Amino acid sequence: MCGIIGISAEANVAGDIYDALLMLQHRGQDSAGMVVCDAEGKLNSRKSIGYVRDVFVQRHMDKLVGNYGVGHVRYPTAGGAGKEFAQPMYVNSPYGISLAHNGNLTNSESLANELFHAEMRHLNTDSDSEVLLNIFAHELGKQREIYPEARHIFKAIKKTHRRCDGAYAVIGLITGFGLVAFRDPNGIRPLIIGIRKGKTRDEYMIASENAAFTSLGFETLRDIEPGEAIFIDNNGTLFTQQCAETYQQRPCIFEYVYFSRPDSTLDQISVYKSRMRMGKKLANKITKIRPDHDIDVVIPIPDSSTTAALQLADELKIPYREGFVKNRYIGRTFIMPHQEERKKSVRRKLNILDLEFKNKNVLLVDDSIVRGTTSRKIIEMAKEAGAKKVYFASAAPAVKYQNLYGIDMPATKELIASNKTDEEVCQEIGADWLIYQDLEDLIVSVQEGNPSIKEFECSVFTGEYITHLNEGYLENLENTRDDDSKIVRIEASQNTS
Ligand code: AMP
C-alpha cells in the first residue's frame, strides 16, 4: 500500500508535501520520497528507507526548492523492500518524468518484456511502478513533441490505460511542464484533488486521501474519476479529460474497512460514517442470531475498529470500554516475516487493562481477521485477564483470497479463513463465539454514503477479480507472497540497501 501527494503552488511546496506525507504515513512506512521542480526546471529530490520524519531532515528540506512536486510513502506489495524501490521513480526521457504510484499492475511482467525487447527501455527493479512509469514515458515520447501540451499528455495516458491492467492511482511530475495525475479505469485506489486560493492563482493538491488537505488550507474540489486524467501546467492552469475507453467506478472496499483514515472522504463516502454503519449492521446481526446474548462489555482492538465498535455498543446498549492500550511509539522497528515474531509483536503493541475483563463476557471487535495472529493472541490475553467468555466480532467478512490491487495481504494459504468454515476459524482463534459481518451488509454500509456507486472491488472476500489476469498469474503470486519468499526478498534487499 502507498500514499501519494502532488502539489502545484505559487511558492515552495516541499514543506506542504512533507506535512501531507505525515498525514498519509499510515499508508506506507517502508520508504518516503519527494521530488520538486524549481523555476529553472531543476529537479530537487530526496528519498530513502524509513518514516517521513527520518527520511527528511532540515538539511534536505532546505535544498528541496520548487513550486510543484510529488511525494510518496511506500509499503511494498510488489517488488522488494530496498532503497531502489523508494518513490518517486525517475526516467530521464522524455523531459524527465518522476512518478508516484499507489496500486499494483497485474500484467507488469509482460509489459516489462515489451519495454525491454521492443521499446529499448531498461528497468532496474522488478517494481510494477517502474514499469508503469516507463510505459507512460514511452507513450509520451512517441509523440515527439518538444513542448508537450495537455492533449499530448492525455493521449499518452489513453495509451497507458490500454496497455496496463490492474490498479493504479498515479501522480507524476513532467520536468519544466507541470503535474499530471490519473486513476485506473475502475478507480480501485483513491485519488482526490483539492484547491487553495493563492495570491495570483489557484493552487492544487492531489492526494490519496483528503484528510491531508484541511490542515494545509486546501478544500476538497472532487475525486478524480476512474480513467480520468488531470494536468496542471506551470502557470497553474488545470486541464482534465476522460482518457479511458470504458470505465466504471469500483473502489476498493478495504479502504473503508481498514486502510484509510476515518477523517477522509473517498469517492464522496465518509470513511468514519461507513465504519459507524458497519458497527450498526454488526449489532443488528448479533441481535438477530442471539437476541438473548449475555455480552457484558464491548471492547475494540485499537485503532481501526474503534468507530465500528463504539456504534455497535451503542446499538446493543452495552457499555463500551477500552480494554487495550496501544503503544503508539513502537512503530515498525523491524520487518516481521516470521509468524513467531508477529505473535510477540501483538503483545508488545497492546497492553491489557485486566479490570475490564475480569469475570465478564466480553465482545472484542476488530476491523478484520487476516492471518488470525492478532485475534488468537488477544483472545488468549483476554482469558488470562480473567474474562469468563470471549466473543469476537469482525467488521469485515472473512478474508479468504489474496489481494492483487495494492494491498499487502499474505498468500491465500496463510489466510486463516481461506479454507475453513466460520466455526473452524472460531475454534482456531480460541473464541467462544465468532461473528463476521455479512458481505452484503458491508457493501450497504459503504454504499449508503454514495448510492451512485453500484459495485465495489471486494475480491479479498469473494475471489472475483475485476481486471484481466494472464494465465498463471494467481498461482505465481501465491508463491511469491508466502512467508518463505518474503524472507528471501528481505534478505536480498538488505544486501543491496
Ligand atoms: P491478523 O493478525 O493477520 O489476523 O491481522 C488482523 C489485524 O491486522 C487487524 O487488526 C487489522 O486491523 C489489521 N490488518 C488488516 N489488513 C491488513 C493489512 N493488509 N496489513 C496490515 N494489517 C492489516
- Residue 347, pLDDT score: 82
Provide the annotated active-site residues: 2
Looking at the predicted structure, is the pLDDT value of residue 333 above 50?
A: no
Tell me if 477 is assigned to some domain.
no
pLDDT band at 53 (very low <50, low <70, confident <90, very high): very high
Reported pTM:
0.94
Looking at the predicted structure, is the pLDDT value of residue 496 above 60?
A: no
- Residue 442, pLDDT score: 98
Same domain, 421 and 295: yes
| DSSP per-residue letters across 376-445 | HHHHHHHHHTT-SEEEEEESS----S---SS-----GGGSTTTT--HHHHHHHHT-SEEEEPPHHHHHHH
Query: Rounded to the nearest 10 degrees, how much is the dihedral formed by the CA atoms of 114, 116, 120, 126?
Result: 120
Q: Please give the number of the atom of ligand 1 that sits closest to the Cα of 346.
A: 2
Q: Is the CB of 382 under 6 A from ligand 1?
A: no
Lowest mean pLDDT of 171-180, 365-374, 455-464, 473-482, name the range: 473-482
Q: Is the CB of 95 under 6 A from ligand 1?
A: no
Q: Is the CB of 415 under 6 A from ligand 1?
A: no
What would the mean pLDDT of 408-414 be, rounded to a whole number? 91
Q: Please give the number of the atom of ligand 1 that sits closest to the Cα of 403.
A: 19
Helix (H) or strand (E) holding 470: none
Block residue for cell numbers 441481535: 287
CATH of the domain at 113: 3.60.20.10
Taking the centre of ligand 1 as the mean of its atom positions, its distance from the CA of residue 368, in whole angstroms, is 6
**Mutational pocket test of ligand 1: of 104, 342, 347, 370, the residue with most ligand atoms within 8 Å of the beta carbon:** 370
Residues in the chain: 497
Q: Please give the number of the atom of ligand 1 that sits closest to the Cα of 371.
A: 3
What would the mean pLDDT of 214-218 be, rounded to a whole number? 96
Closest-CA residue, ligand 1 atom 9, reads 368
Q: Please give the number of the atom of ligand 1 that sits closest to the Cα of 376.
A: 2
pLDDT over 90 for what percent of the chain? 87
Same domain, 37 and 78: yes
Q: Please give the number of the atom of ligand 1 that sits closest to the Cα of 369.
A: 4
Same domain, 325 and 232: no
Helix (H) or strand (E) holding 488: helix 483-496
Range of the domain at 281: 270-465
Tell me if 188 is assigned to some domain.
yes
Same domain, 242 and 341: no
- Residue 22, pLDDT score: 98
What residues form DSSP beta bridges with 178? 174, 233
What would the mean pLDDT of 376-405 be, rounded to a whole number? 97
Instruction: From 248, 282, 306, give the residue that closes a domain.
Output: 248
Closest-CA residue, ligand 1 atom 5, reads 370
What does pLDDT average to over the chain?
Answer: 93
Q: Is the CB of 275 under 6 A from ligand 1?
A: no
Distance (Å, whole) CA 64 – CA 35: 8
Do residues 276 and 307 make contact, with C-beta atoms less than 8 angstroms apart? yes
Same domain, 311 and 370: yes
Question: In 3-state terms, what secondary structure has residue 27?
Answer: helix
- Residue 7, pLDDT score: 98
Taking the centre of ligand 1 as the mean of its atom positions, its distance from the CA of residue 370, in whole angstroms, is 5
Do residues 70 and 173 make contact, with C-beta atoms less than 8 angstroms apart? yes
Q: Is the CB of 254 under 6 A from ligand 1?
A: no
- Residue 348, pLDDT score: 84
Q: Where are the alpha helices (DSSP H) in 47-167?
A: 52-55, 58-63, 108-117, 128-141, 150-163
Lowest mean pLDDT of 254-268, 321-335, 341-355, name the range: 321-335
Taking the centre of ligand 1 as the mean of its atom positions, its distance from the CA of residue 297, in whole angstroms, is 23
Tell me if 182 is assigned to some domain.
yes
Tell me if 259 is assigned to some domain.
no
CATH of the domain at 324: 3.40.50.2020
Tell me if 410 is assigned to some domain.
yes
- Residue 497, pLDDT score: 40
- Residue 472, pLDDT score: 87
- Residue 238, pLDDT score: 98
Same domain, 358 and 216: no
Among the listed residues 278, 281, 283, 245, the one whose alpha carbon sits nearest the alpha carbon of residue 262? 278
- Residue 77, pLDDT score: 67
Taking the centre of ligand 1 as the mean of its atom positions, its distance from the CA of residue 411, in whole angstroms, is 13
Same domain, 199 and 283: no
List C-alpha distances in Å: 198 to 11, 21, 204, 222, 303.
9, 21, 10, 19, 36
Distance (Å, whole) CA 131 – CA 108: 6
Same domain, 133 and 90: yes
Same domain, 370 and 405: yes
pLDDT over 70 for what percent of the chain? 93
pLDDT band at 335 (very low <50, low <70, confident <90, very high): very low
Same domain, 201 and 280: no
109-119: per-residue pLDDT in tens? 999 999 999 99
Tell me if 265 is assigned to some domain.
no
- Residue 43, pLDDT score: 98
Question: In 3-state terms, what secondary structure has residue 249?
Answer: coil
Tell me if 147 is assigned to some domain.
yes
Question: In 3-state terms, what secondary structure has residue 474?
Answer: helix
Taking the centre of ligand 1 as the mean of its atom positions, its distance from the CA of residue 457, in whole angstroms, is 18
Question: In 3-state terms, what secondary structure has residue 232?
Answer: strand
Q: Please give the number of the atom of ligand 1 that sits closest to the Cα of 305.
A: 12
Number of domains, the chain: 2
Q: Is the CB of 255 under 6 A from ligand 1?
A: no
C-alpha cell at 273: 460514517
86-130: per-residue pLDDT in tens? 999 999 999 999 999 999 999 999 999 999 999 999 999 999 999
Tell me if 398 is assigned to some domain.
yes
pLDDT band at 276 (very low <50, low <70, confident <90, very high): very high
Taking the centre of ligand 1 as the mean of its atom positions, its distance from the CA of residue 147, in whole angstroms, is 47
Q: Is the CB of 396 under 6 A from ligand 1?
A: no
Same domain, 217 and 307: no
223-249: per-residue pLDDT in tens? 999 999 999 999 999 999 999 999 999
Looking at the predicted structure, is the pLDDT value of residue 184 above 60?
A: yes
423-473: per-residue pLDDT in tens? 999 999 999 999 999 999 999 999 999 999 999 999 999 999 999 998 888
Taking the centre of ligand 1 as the mean of its atom positions, its distance from the CA of residue 373, in whole angstroms, is 9
Same domain, 219 and 275: no
Lowest mean pLDDT of 70-79, 234-243, 372-381, name the range: 70-79
